[in-house]
Structure 1
């Protein structure tokens, strides 16, 4: 968007190819040009005028569960918290508008207080709101619907395929495309195939787990002591049992904590329908978790088998013995995707008074695209509630939410409200709540013993499921929350904001439906998001900020994404210390730890979350985040510049167009001698800066552009200063002063790991060859000298670019 943290280029341009709004066509009954930016569709007129103005009063009572609904009113208005409320409301009005008395629609009589309207007169016949409603109702009755092209109304230009491929590779899979992949992505079909390829790579699964943990927050940390609920392997968590070790307890705690996200990873890795996230009747476990659950696994319990997450078609076994003389009671627990995992049940705990409603809220928000906290206006007078017996069921001010929340909460019946993970099929449900169910469908009594499995199977059948998954993935990939319906109808940009909301809402409906039709193939959903204007828009009309909400580049990278971007673009993670540690609990490829990814303190300093105390990422850089990114940029630039020059030009990531001796001037014999330009050196340096602009910042610039000239001048200024200092110091300014800047390890070859004194796997790299004195430098040699002042000049350039806003944002 043009405001906030987005870096959205100004200028009026044509639209690329945003997916058309669901149900939108290319013409209208009125004969207007549907691609005309001034076109106002029936949907938009309803949203901005009818719902936004004329029927706000109606929505308060006629929403499902509201006062009018409780009294049996047939007419319903869905609030804007309901996914695709526009379609639902237009169809509701269309049907109700057919009813008439004495030639006048009942829908136009009721607001005037006629026909025994329970709410009395809420509009007058000469009011603007009533005239808006009358026009809309009559248009629907006459079939005079109008459709417009949502694409043409946005008026934005897309990133080209090459730049899209770069951005997708960095943000989805933490790497940079090869030349062959750039060529493949030149066509739209090739771009789609490249995006699909990215979703099959190890680092994408890390990104996937991060996206979903941001939504569900289950990685807060769950201690292995939760295994006492199952009582299958007490040696994993209880030091009173033989075989116990703190190491096993630690790995078991990690396993039980990571179970929900590993289930999501398994589903996508194995191309299973994503509906299994709530409906899967199998367990995905590693050896630690399998032993805790009392189910079989083909690998022994050992740290090296932590990543052996496999599908097991057995239910977890729960044992209980009240005392030494009583028989052991064994229960098979119901399995419903991640909903039945201890990590989910403990993260979203319940109480005897909450009665599963918090869990219901999380299910609604993340799997049914419904934020119940925004579902209805809060009552002002609390005394109106205390005077009603059981207000959650009998007061319209409460029931508007509870008729939605309580039945889904009933899906968690059987799970103990004091011991979060304990299950007892014989537990009774609460008589003061609505029966378990979903969408007015009651759960059959025979399913009470496995209520969560019944609920999990129903959720994907709801069209909101596809929309909800699309919204979670959108938030993770784009970095913005889905647009909210604008409430200030007097705001100058109200009409544009409504239009932006409509276009995005219809897009969510469309991609959600396509996701469901693909048997919930998450990879295809990712392709749709990357191909959309929300990922690719790059420029638009500067007077249309309201219309361009959520569009464009400029999302602040999370600490994990920034850590991977360092690796993708420079080849080197940011390491706090020179030694690197293997992150053996994240991915099979054995990649090295980045402190931005694995170190909790660094993540929190840079705006990350810990899923417990800190649950919302910072989306605008604070001063300490700026300082942190600058420090990291200087460390990476220092380390990677010399290392890149140890390779032959074809194998370099950053400096393919220059050599160590590509100097802008010939070094002088004395301080009074003039500087002489080196032929062709400036052209090579400028070309390399141009390539760095694309690789690091995603911008295509020309070698004679102002951007390149500015960076070239920085290079020259640093080079001159180094050369001058060397002359004044008698030739003693040619060493690399900081040991971190010396290239002595070959980070790209043959890394091996061995445990240090703390048991952490420490990386060991092959050493670069020693360089004999006065020997010309050859690739593959240790590089600890800067004889031509070019290494430190390029370090300055790299530091400058890695600190750029466009590097810390995408």
Structure 2
């Protein structure tokens, strides 16, 4: 209700809110009536005031207000020591061109840089990076990364299609009989009655539709606004069959093995069973997908407010729950429609209720769990009025803007969500929201919050840090908006930013650098891809040969021979800080290392080095990822400068570059430390073999005579008489435990 007021203070979540509010008070202090400041007249109700009297005459509060106005008129100037945001990054060490390339390549393309990319940055430096990063975004691996980014935001991977109030999770129609599909099956996969996992693939098809809108827009080079304004659904063969619509020209019911690439999502402009009725319909991208509407359901008292709250949060970067002040419950008469009439409630409800009403066609005023198009005029519950929604005497009417703005015209209500989508994407806050989602994912944390207590130590510095990051987000949002809401330029700008590239920011007395320097935990998905891309092996469940018909842990993949520990909820995914994708489970990622994640890293390093070393040596040199330049007959002598040790030194340089993103000279301390470790491991191991204290045999699964995924035994490398394989294995585990491998630095 204060939308038209000139006196609206900023909440503490806004960076620099104290300075902003001071400016607002100073401006309001200029307003007067009869020679008296309105800031004194209105709170005391000496003149008409919509908020009524909030400060009593002769009270201590009024004395504080009078003193405030005196200080505004005659301010006290203190010597300032607050850091200038424009120079906040001065003195911060940035990643060089190669290090930036290495970090970005693993994050975006799920692989180390190619030799050609390395040569390009060696020749062109930082200026060569934008073109390389833009090219990497065209690789299929980036689309999977994009899915993860927006899955973390929307949380629709945990979707279960609900037809009943008890949330049984059953989907029912002619093709999918009751009980055939339940999204949560625990660890007992035998209950699934469908061949080839078709049932769970249906649920995945519906669950993944919202994030596929993002991928679809990116792949087509369309503005990201189409994720809300798209006049179609995105369906694959499984969801198309469920909705009884043709798919790629194939009639519903066509066997999936007769359809080319049945998991591909395509635009379907007419879905009569769910988005249309009697010739009219409603299509608004993500907002009209089954999984979004069911992930954020309505109720007979909620009236779509949950949907409105998350629409604001996800697409306008506004969390109304954080902006709500604490209310005086004793001043609220619950029998007098307080959400419409009581000023304790209307501050929030005047914003959220109009948007909630824009979802009116997607439920029966909260009384119907099933989500399908029900425009005004459809038979509805008695809670609905003739316009198909809660009467205006009980709730602010539908509209795209907070009340008392003009409500949506009755003739536009059949396509209310389309109007809402068009309004959202026209707002600068939409660009802010999209920028925030991508920035948070690539940086690995949410933006800094401005400190609320000006008396806390380091307040000025912490406020400067938050202000700097807010200015960075504003700059990036402008780039996104000016590029036509294209993701590519935004991502390139983030990679090139000081925040992404900051390598060392622990400078004495520089509290304002708190948001710089990296150090967040790599996500389990990224770490899993990094392990495979750099070492060539999958850290996976051993001996898993049976097909696994579930996408609950890893949506869209069902080959159990590729079940990685870091991707499985029942293994290490959530223990390593990941999200489990469920409604009631872990919904935020852990970003700081812990003793548990350290233990997982140690276990990973020991097992991956065991799996990778002998298997890499078992290949022809030209096919090796790790050791193409050394043979098993070449042993470390202890003198890295000796001519015969050059291949070992070159291999160490390769491993440091490939795993840690370090370009090291032959005499670099880090490289010499690795050489010393390799030498000590090999010589001590060989001595133990000679003394009969150690066997020449490689233990499984470090030997190559067993297929880890299937458990099949065959011929392979089984002995290590000089202990050189195990020495390289120990060196590899040492590097895999390095913080540059498991943290985003």
User: Shorter-chain-normalised TM-score: which range?
Assistant: 0.7 to 0.9
Q: 5+ unaligned residues in a row in structure 2: which ranges?
A: 182-192, 381-387
Cα offset, 1:367, TM superposition: 0.7
| Change in CA separation of 1:83 and 1:641 when aligned onto 2, cut-off 3 Å | same
Partner secondary structure for residue 655 of structure 1: coil
Out of 356, 362, 369, which is 1:415 matched to?
Answer: 362
Structure 2 contact 613–728 (Cα < 8 Å) conserved: yes
SS, match of residue 235 in structure 1? coil
Q: 1:461 to 1:319 in 2, by over 3 A?
A: closer
Cα 1:744–1:364 change in 2 (3 A) is same
Map 1:295-314 to 2 at 5 A: 295-298=245-248, 300-302=254-256, 305-314=261-270
Q: Which of residues 515, 520, 524 in structure 2 aligns to 1:555?
A: 520
* The one of 294, 302, 306 aligned to 2:244: 294
1:364 aligned to which of 303, 312, 316: 312
Q: 1:222: how far off?
A: 2.1
- Alignment correspondent of 1:513: 478
**Contact 2:275 / 2:281 at 8 angstroms: preserved in 1?**
no
The equivalent of 2:414 in structure 1 is 449
CA positional deviation for 1:536: 0.9
Give 1:316 shift. 4.3
* Distance in 1, Cα, partners of 2:168 & 2:696: 64
**Is residue 83–residue 464 contact of structure 1 (8 Å, CA) maintained in 2?**
no
Query: In structure 1, what is the Cα distance between the partners aligned to 2:280 and 2:209?
Result: 18
The alpha-carbon deviation at position 89 of structure 1 amounts to 6.8
Matches within 5 A, 1:178-257: 178-185=114-121, 186-223=124-161, 234-238=174-178, 245=194, 247-257=197-207
Alignment correspondent of 2:321:
373
Number of residue pairs matched by the alignment: 686
Alpha carbons of structure 1 residues 569 and 676: separation in structure 2 relative to 1, 3 Å: closer
Q: Distance in 1 between matches of 2:558 and 2:140?
A: 7
- CA contact 2:84–2:464 (8 Å) conserved in 1: no
**Residues 492 and 501 (structure 1 numbering): CA distance in 2 closer, same or farther, change over 3 Å?**
same
Listed one character per residue, the Cα deviations across residues 195-235 of structure 1 (whole Å, up to 9, x for unaligned) are 12222222211111111111111111424979999999522
In the alignment, which residue of structure 1 is the partner of 2:625? 653
* TM-score after normalising by structure 2: 0.81
Kindly indicate whether the alpha-carbon contact (under 8 Å) linking 2:85 and 2:468 is maintained by their aligned counterparts in 1.
Answer: no
Q: Does 1:607 align with 2:577?
A: yes
Q: Does residue 392 of the first structure (1) align with residue 342 of the second (2)?
A: no
Deviations 1:484-510 (A, max 9, x none): 221111111110111111111122222
Is the alpha carbon distance of 1:220 and 1:387 closer, same or farther for their aligned partners in structure 2, counting shifts above 3 Å?
Answer: closer
Whether 2:110 is the aligned partner of 1:171: answer: no
The 3-state SS of whatever aligns with 1:284 is strand
Residue aligning to 1:593: 562
Q: How far is 1:346 from its partner?
A: 1.1
Q: Structure 1 residues 319 and 358, CA, compared in 2 at 3 Å: closer, same or farther?
A: closer
- Name the CA shift for 1:95/1:129 in 2 (closer, same or farther; >3 Å): closer
Q: 1:541 to 1:605 in 2, by over 3 A?
A: closer
Q: Which of 403, 409, 429 is the matching residue for 2:389?
A: 429
From 625, 628, 646, the equivalent of 2:597 is 625
Asked if residue 688 in structure 1 is aligned to residue 688 in structure 2, the reply is no
Tell me what 1:265 maps to: 215
Aligned to 1:75: 7
In structure 2, how many angstroms separate the alpha carbons of the residues matched to 1:124 and 1:452?
49
**Partner residue in 1 for 2:288:** 340
Separation in structure 1 between the aligned mates of residue 275 and residue 99 of structure 2, nearest angstrom: 56
- Paired with 1:270 and 1:263, the residues of 2 have a C-alpha distance of 11
Return closer, same or farther for 1:231/1:358 CA change in 2, 3 Å cut-off: closer
Q: Does 1:383 align with 2:330?
A: yes
User: How many angstroms apart in 2 are the aligned matches of 1:722 and 1:340?
Assistant: 64
- 1:161 matched to which residue of 2? 97
Measured in 2, the distance between the counterparts of 1:591 and 1:199 equals 28
Would the alpha carbon gap of residues 110 and 500 (structure 1) be closer, same or farther in structure 2, given more than 3 Å must change? farther
Match in the other structure for 1:736? 698
Q: Secondary structure at the match of 1:400?
A: helix
562-571 vs 151-160, which moves further: 151-160
Q: Secondary structure at the match of 2:361?
A: coil
For 2:545 and 2:119, how far apart are their aligned partners in 1? Answer: 34
Partner of 2:498: 533
3-state SS of paired residue (1:353):
coil
Q: CA deviation at 1:607?
A: 2.3
Offset at residue 263 of structure 1 (A)? 2.1
Contact 1:640 1:741 in 2 (8 A): no
Determine whether 1:523 maps to 2:473.
no
Counterpart position of 2:187: none
2:437 to 450, 472, 476: 472
Structure 1 residue 582: Cα displacement:
9.1
- How far apart are the structure 2 equivalents of 1:176 and 1:503? 31
For the Cα contact (< 8 Å) 1:722–1:733, is it kept in 2? no
Distance 2:727 2:31 in 1: 79
CA distance in 1 between partners of 2:229 and 2:639 (Å): 73
Do the aligned residues in 2 keep the contact of 1:718 with 1:793 (CA within 8 Å)?
Answer: yes
2: CA distance between counterparts of 1:228 and 1:579?
Answer: 30
Shift of 1:511: 1.6
SS in 2 for 1:236: coil
Label 1:411 to 1:596 Cα distance change in 2 as closer, same or farther (>3 A): farther
Quick check: 163-172 or 433-442, which moved more?
433-442
Tell me if structure 2 keeps the 8 A contact 1:342–1:420: no
CA displacement 1:228-283 (0-9 Å, x = unmatched) = 99999522344799xx9464322212211222122222121221111111221111
Two-structure CA RMSD over aligned residues (Å): 4.1
C-alpha distance in structure 1 between counterparts of 2:719 and 2:480, whole Å = 56
TM-aligned CA distance change 1:702 to 1:676, over 3 Å: closer
Judged with a 3 Å threshold, the aligned counterparts in structure 2 of structure 1 residues 297 and 680 are, in CA distance, closer, same or farther, namely same
| 1:350-390 deviation per Cα after TM superposition (whole angstroms, max 9, x unaligned) | 111011111111111111111111102212x4212237722
TM-superposed CA distance for 1:341, in Å, is 1.1
How far apart in 1 are the matches of 2:230 and 2:68?
49
User: What CA distance in whole angstroms lies between the structure 1 residues aligned with 2:75 and 2:560?
Assistant: 60
- Which deviates more from structure 2 when the two are superposed, residues 576-585 or residues 341-350? 576-585
Structure 2: distance between partners of 1:698 and 1:240? 48
Q: More displaced, 93-102 or 443-452?
A: 93-102
Distance 1:202 1:73 in 2: 50
Task: Name the CA distance, whole Å, in 1 between partners of 2:279 and 2:134.
Answer: 42
Is this contact kept in 2: 1:742–1:784, CA < 8 A? yes
Does residue 497 in structure 1 map to residue 467 in structure 2?
A: no
* Match among 721, 726, 735 for residue 792 of structure 1: 726
CA shift at 1:591, angstroms? 12
Which 5+ residue runs of structure 1 have no aligned equivalent? Answer: 1-64, 139-145, 321-328, 666-674, 748-761, 771-781
Shift of 1:614: 2.1
Give the Å deviation of 1:412.
0.9
> Is it true that 1:724 corresponds to 2:678 in the alignment?
no
Gap change, CA 1:632 and 1:651, over 3 Å in 2: same
TM-score (norm 1): 0.75
Deviation at 1:295, TM superposition (A): 2.5
